[in-house]
Structure 1
Amino acid sequence: MAVLAELTIDARSFDLGRVTAVEEGIHIDLERVVPTGGEVMPFFWASGADFEAFERSVRENHMVKELNAVARVQDKVLYHVHWGDTVSSLTNILIESHATILEAHGTDTWFFRLRFSDHTDLTEFHNRCQEEGIDFRVDRIYSLADEEPGVYSFDITAEQQEALVTAVEDGYFEVPRRTTLKEVAESLQISPQAASERVRRGANAVLRKVLLSRSAADRK
């Protein structure tokens, strides 16, 4: 049975993390992963950055052969990176343990949600990381069967949840508002732009899950 693992890992443990951790306040979201063959971690979104300085720093890295901005949407940019002489062993371990990256994002610290075919592959991943000296913190391990029916799984990131909780507790959604996004950002020690994105994305995911799912159920 498929096994899912959620873990936290230092950006310095893999190529994309090392290459993109160059600007204060930058946030990276992995867009697509090709698990076997071809390119690994070729597309990612960047937000909350001075994009010109960010692009210049990334292109100067010896591991990057080419970096292209594919799309610009509001305050985010989708990049396609062509890797040169990479050194990360994490990507190799992911391939060897047949892992599928369902979600990955971060700054200095990254969150990964991985799916393995079974516990054997998960154990292989763990053992290979130990051999290579790659440290990570396991936040959760579960199977698809462990997801309880009738309980909302909002599918928001830990950072989005933290931002939403802070915004709610400090009164950002009240009328009149008791706080601002700038103050929320200060509480989280992130940029106002990053705080805005996390609150909007998190709120959108929660509202869509609650309102649209309930509406669909009412129509049955």
Structure 2
Amino acid sequence: MAVVAHFLIDAESFDLGRVTQVASGVHIELERVVPTTGSVMPFFWASGTDFETFERSVREDKLVEELNALTRIGDKVLYHVIWGETASSLTEIIAASDATILEASGNHQWSFRIRFQDHRGLRDFHNSCREYGIDFHVERIYTLEEEYDSKYNFDVTPEQLEALVSAVEGGYFEVPRGVTLTEVAEDLGISQQAASERVRRAADTVLRRVLLSRSADDF
């Protein structure tokens, strides 16, 4: 039975994370595509402001052969990266375990949601990470059956839920806005960047669960 694992991992543990963790605070999110070339993590979105510094830093890394900006939408840019000789890391372990990356994003710390064919695949992944000295923190492990049988399981963290509720109650999604992200952040006692990430991720997860996973009759 297929299982899904949600875990946190330091950027230094895999090539894309190590290459893209820059001081400018650019946030990285994997493009949700299934590449046909066999390469791992060839496409990613970057959101931020100082893309010139970001691109120069990535292109100067010895692991990168080529970096191309494909398109820009607002403050987000879609990149295609061609890897050179990469080091053994999380990406190779994921590929070897025939796992599927469902979601991944971060900067200095990344959040991953990975689907394994069965618990044995998850166990092999865990053992390989230990062998390579890769540490990660497990947030949640569940089967696909558990995910789809739970009617109101939106799979958001308590922190994300708290931020989303604060934003909704304050009127952040209203026109005009009732509160700003700065005010949401102040209400929660966190940075604006953290508030933005929590609200965006929570909203994206809830909307995907409602609009893409089930029909309205299921609720």
Query: Normalised by the size of structure 2, how large is the TM-score?
Result: 0.81
Deviation (angstroms), 1:37 = 6.0
Deviation (angstroms), 1:151 = 1.9
* Gapped regions of structure 1 (runs ≥ 5): none
Match of 1:66 in 2: 66
Partners of 2:180 and 2:22 lie apart in 1 by 28
- Are the structure 2 counterparts of residues 110 and 126 from structure 1 closer, same or farther at C-alpha, using a change threshold of 3 Å? same
- 1:103 maps to amino acid: E
Deviation (angstroms), 1:56 = 0.8
Match of 1:152 in 2: 152
RMSD: 3.3
- Answering whether residue 83 of structure 2 is matched by residue 86 of structure 1, we say no
Partners of 2:29 and 2:159 lie apart in 1 by 12
- Are the structure 2 counterparts of residues 183 and 89 from structure 1 closer, same or farther at C-alpha, using a change threshold of 3 Å? same
Aligned partners of 1:69 and 1:80 also within 8 Å: yes
Partners of 1:91 and 1:149 lie apart in 2 by 31
Q: Percent identity?
A: 65
- Are the structure 2 counterparts of residues 63 and 161 from structure 1 closer, same or farther at C-alpha, using a change threshold of 3 Å? farther
Partners of 2:158 and 2:180 lie apart in 1 by 21
The number of equivalent residue pairs is 215
Match of 1:14 in 2: 14
Partners of 2:56 and 2:126 lie apart in 1 by 35
What's the secondary structure of 1:112's corresponding residue?
strand
Deviation (angstroms), 1:98 = 1.3
Partners of 2:38 and 2:211 lie apart in 1 by 40
Aligned partners of 2:40 and 2:95 also within 8 Å: no
* Gapped regions of structure 2 (runs ≥ 5): none
Matches within 5 A, 1:126-137: 126-137=126-137
Matches within 5 A, 1:170-189: 171-173=170-172, 179-185=179-185, 187-189=189-191
What's the secondary structure of 1:188's corresponding residue?
coil
Per-residue deviation, residues 180-215 of structure 1 (Å, max 9, x unmatched): 222335643244xx7557535644653575589998
- 2:3 maps to amino acid: V
Match of 1:3 in 2: 3
Matches within 5 A, 1:5-154: 5-32=5-32, 38-147=38-147, 149=149, 151-154=151-154
- Are the structure 2 counterparts of residues 90 and 200 from structure 1 closer, same or farther at C-alpha, using a change threshold of 3 Å? closer
Q: Judge which range, 28-37 or 49-58, deviates more.
A: 28-37
Deviation (angstroms), 1:160 = 5.1
